[in-house]
């Protein structure tokens, strides 16, 4: 049976404007960083995507190197677009990125115009699209003049290959230099994608969060659960099937100390008093003050999407709750 979207999908999901642009994003977005590669099952990918869209998630976030193998997440997403989601293309925000290593030789990495233009052409071909809604430079490149990278983003928009552009993993000072060029070019720079969570607050201490608000650029937080630490799976130590138990993952076993587990249990107590899971509270915390446009979630199965979506039902925190969370994380409680 062909996929038919839930007719009530827009009823409960909030949609937030990206800075001062005309574009809105769903409060939650779905990232295809994991679980959409050549090693994963296509039917499960479909069910994750369908569940997300049926829940009001309209933004799907990719990158050229997502897989494994690199490029396979875009290929699989393209297959599902063609078979099921293309009738809804104008209701979707599709983003991709380039900036990390993608192919051999001197032109398959970083921030040169050669790399960015070629990479997006490859991404569009893999997904079967004429354009993406948002194209990001995935990380800053100190070896390439920022003017060259930003001019490449501007050209991509003017060629109609992307409607808007974004930056990812840039700190405040790097963003200021890039924004100066994009502002002069009048390039529609509308979004910034940094890592951000209750336990990873670098965009606050760096000043990036306030700066983006000041210049009217939206933001979307990736790794809101701090590589899985805030999922609730580590309340009793390290499960053998968890990320921390596996070598070569982004969450190191050594990071899950007795002190960390104690902190997670205290945070979980706060979440339970709020009627949320720890993961739901972690997502809600990012949206608490309206300064972050959307939270980028990942999922290995459809049920995880449904659990995360519940976070948008309560993103308000009392001053006491926020203080308690801060004290727990800082070790004062």
Average pLDDT over residues 20-31: 98
Q: Give the relative orientation of helices 278-286 and 302-309 as an angle to the nearest 10 degrees.
A: 60
Q: What angle do CA 89, 95, 101 make, to 5 degrees?
A: 140
319: Cα separation from own chain's centroid: 27
Report residue 252's pLDDT band, with 50, 70 and 90 as the boundaries. Answer: low
Average pLDDT over residues 63-91: 98
Report residue 296's pLDDT band, with 50, 70 and 90 as the boundaries. Answer: very high
Q: Is the pLDDT of residue 22 over 90?
A: yes
Q: Is the pLDDT of residue 244 over 70?
A: no
Question: Which pLDDT score is estimated for 245?
Answer: 47
**Is 251 within a domain?**
no
Is residue 135 within 8 Å of residue 162, measured between CB atoms?
Answer: yes
Report residue 254's pLDDT band, with 50, 70 and 90 as the boundaries. Answer: low
Question: Which pLDDT score is estimated for 238?
Answer: 63
**Is 254 within a domain?**
no
Question: Which pLDDT score is estimated for 247?
Answer: 47
Q: Tell the burial category of 221 from Cβ atoms under 10 Å away from its Cβ (0-12, 13-18, 19+).
A: buried
- What is the tens place of the pLDDT at every residue in 189-217? 999 999 999 999 999 999 999 999 999 99
Question: Which pLDDT score is estimated for 256?
Answer: 78
Question: Which pLDDT score is estimated for 237?
Answer: 62
**Is 107 within a domain?**
yes
Number of domains in the chain: 1
Q: Which of 2, 14, 113 is nearest to 55 (CA)?
A: 14
**Is 45 within a domain?**
yes
**Is 256 within a domain?**
no
The enclosing H or E element of 320 equals helix 319-330
Question: Which pLDDT score is estimated for 130?
Answer: 98
Average pLDDT value for the chain: 94
Assign residue 213 the CATH number of its domain.
3.20.20.100
Residue scoring higher pLDDT (235 or 313): 313
Q: Is the pLDDT of residue 120 over 90?
A: yes
**Is 218 within a domain?**
yes
What's the predicted TM-score (pTM) here?
0.94
The residue segments making up the domain with residue 173 are: 15-230+277-315
Q: Give the relative orientation of helices 42-54 and 302-309 as an angle to the nearest 10 degrees.
A: 20
**Is 99 within a domain?**
yes
**Is 7 within a domain?**
no
């Amino acid at each position: 049976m062909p996929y038919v979207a839930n007719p009530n999908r827009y009823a409960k999901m909030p949609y937030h404007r990206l800075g001062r642009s005309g574009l809105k994003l769903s409060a939650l977005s779905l990232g295809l960083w994991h679980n959409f590669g050549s090693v994963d099952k296509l039917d499960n990918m479909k069910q994750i995507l369908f569940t997300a869209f049926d829940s009001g998630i309209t933004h799907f976030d990719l990158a050229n190197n997502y897989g494994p193998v690199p490029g396979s997440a875009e290929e699989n997403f393209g297959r599902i677009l063609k078979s099921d989601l293309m009738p809804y293309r104008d209701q979707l925000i599709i983003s991709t990125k380039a900036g990390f290593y993608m192919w051999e030789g001197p032109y398959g990495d970083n921030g040169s115009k050669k790399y960015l233009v070629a990479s997006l052409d490859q991404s569009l071909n893999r997904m079967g699209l004429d354009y993406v809604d948002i194209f990001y430079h995935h990380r800053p490149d100190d070896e390439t003049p920022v003017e060259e990278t930003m001019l490449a983003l501007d050209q991509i928009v003017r060629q109609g290959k992307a409607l808007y552009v974004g930056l990812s993993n840039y700190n405040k000072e790097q963003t200021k230099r890039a924004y100066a060029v994009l502002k002069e070019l009048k390039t529609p720079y509308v979004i910034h994608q940094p890592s951000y969570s209750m336990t990873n607050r670098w965009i606050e201490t760096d000043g990036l969060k306030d700066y983006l608000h000041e210049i009217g650029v939206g933001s979307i937080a990736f790794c809101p659960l701090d590589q899985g630490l805030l999922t609730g799976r580590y309340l009793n130590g390290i499960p053998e099937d968890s990320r921390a138990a596996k070598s070569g993952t982004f969450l190191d076993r050594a990071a899950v100390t007795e002190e960390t587990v104690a902190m997670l249990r205290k945070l979980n107590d706060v979440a339970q008093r709020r009627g949320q899971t720890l993961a739901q509270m972690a997502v809600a915390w990012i949206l608490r003050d309206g300064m972050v446009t959307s939270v980028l979630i990942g999922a290995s199965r459809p049920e995880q999407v449904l659990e995360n979506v519940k976070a948008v039902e309560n993103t308000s925190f009392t001053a006491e709750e926020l203080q308690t969370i801060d004290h727990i994380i800082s070790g004062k409680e």
